[in-house]
Structure 1
Amino acid sequence: MMQHNAMEAPRPAGFARLRRGAPALLLSLGLGLAWLPQAHADMFPDNEARRAILDLRGQIAQNQQANQAQLAQQAQQIQQIRSSLLDLANQIEQLKTEIAQLRGQQDTTTRQLNNTIAKVAASQKDLSQRMAPLEPVAVQIGGKSYTVQPAEKAAYEQALAAFRSSDFAGAGSQFKSFLAQYPSSPYASEAQYWLANSLYAQKQYKDAVTAFNGLINGYPGSSRIPESMLGLANCQVELREVRAARLTLQKLVNNYPQSEAAQAAKDRLAKLR
Structure 2
Amino acid sequence: MTPRRLRLAPVLSTLALLLATLGAQPARAGLFDDEEARRQIRDTSFKVNDRIDALSKGQIDLVNQIVALREENARLHGQVETLTFELESAKKRQQDFYIDLDTRLRKLEPQAPSASSEAKPAEDGGGQAAEASPKPAGDPAAESREYESALNLFKANKIKEAGAAFAAFVKAHPDSTLAPSAQYWLGNAHYSLRDCKKAIDAHRVVVSKWPQHAKAPDALINVATCQQELGDDKGAKTTLNAVVIKYPGSPAAETAKQRLKK
TM-score, length-scaled by structure 2: 0.49
* Bigger RCO of structures 1 and 2 (CA < 8 A, at least 6 apart): 2
- Scaled by the length of structure 1, what TM-score is found? 0.47
Q: Which has the larger radius of gyration?
A: 1
